[in-house]
Amino acid sequence: MAILPFRFAKSDIAALNPGAIAKGYSIEVMPRTAAKVEDFRALLPQGTRVYIAHLEATPFGEMLDCAKRLSADGFAVMPHVPARIIPDRATLDQWLNRYASEAGVTQALVLAGGSKTKAGDFDSSMQLLETGLFDRHGFTRLHVAGHPEGNRDIDAPGSTRLVDAAARWKQDFANRTDATMAMATQFAFQAGTVLDWADRLAEAGVDLPIHVGIAGPAKLQTLIKFAIACGVGPSLSVLQKRARDLTKLVLPFTPDEFLSDLSAGLAKGRGRNVAGIHIFPLGGIATAAAHANALNEAARARGGVA
């Protein structure tokens, strides 16, 4: 089951509250953590897009089993397809064929992946897309990675030259193919940084819808650990500043302030390409889903979400 591309309604943005902007969220799982969830239908709204993270050590069979389960439960399944862990074209062909034929998958997040070295023929998402295999196997929605704070694995610190060039290439690919495309970003902690990046892309002619990555509620220490490991840039200072406040150190960190700031920016006409949010459940999927659902319910009660 696929869900339609999400766009914020003017009434949602005018509400200026985290729940309005959390409507229609997507969320990420890993096969081994997903296996511990008894029933995703009790956690997530029907039709939620669920990304399945494919880490280097995860066997494809676990990815496929997770995709089959989530698809059977009525969710829009979007597995990661990381270039650097795929040895050759034949393997990519086999994976896409099995996702489509056995799990009914028609969506994928196509990315380079976090591996420092490539396993074979592929090094980038662009190389995967150019194979034509996604179209051959009926993948109609393709998301690609966005980097509001740059990517230290691609560019030198402080530079965005190569990731900007990649964004323009992805826009060109979307223009010349029938695929429905969007960008899903790494999580960040400063809305202003994300809005600056989104506006800069729009000025450069990149108008792919942007699904802004946010970290779900988690202990501050957990978020700092993941942020450093994932290469979060300047917005990491938000967590570090909070860590210096002993009164806040033991409290769970939530994305509410980030979402409110993002919503306020959208209301002022910034980030016109922002189309939704994507949740990284760093404090657990049940906690992240419950928090997002509670925000949505609160917004509905205030009349902020239709």
pLDDT band per the 50, 70, 90 thresholds, residue 154:
low
pLDDT band per the 50, 70, 90 thresholds, residue 256:
confident
Q: What is the pLDDT of residues 32-77, one digit of tens each?
A: 999 999 999 999 999 999 999 999 999 999 999 999 999 999 999 9
pLDDT at position 233 = 61
- Enter the CATH code of domain 10-296: 3.20.20.220
Of 19-23, 157-161, 176-180, 257-261, minimum mean pLDDT range? 19-23
Q: Which segments of the chain does DSSP mark as H helices, in order?
A: 10-15, 18-22, 31-34, 60-72, 89-103, 125-130, 133-136, 161-176, 191-203, 220-229, 236-243, 246-249, 256-267, 285-302
What is residue 36's DSSP assignment? T
Q: Which residue has the higher pLDDT, 121 or 233?
A: 121
Q: Break the chain into its structural domains and give their ranges.
A: 10-296
Q: What is the pLDDT of residues 88-109, one digit of tens each?
A: 999 999 999 999 999 999 999 9
Q: Which residue has the higher pLDDT, 235 or 114?
A: 114
Share of the chain above pLDDT 70, in %: 78
pLDDT at position 16 = 37
pTM value is 0.86
The whole-number average pLDDT for the span 162-167 is: 85
**Cα–Cα distance measured from residue 168 to residue 243, given in angstroms and rounded to the nearest whole number:** 37
Backbone angles phi, psi at 146, to 5 degrees: -120, 150
Cα Rg for the chain, rounded, in angstroms? 18
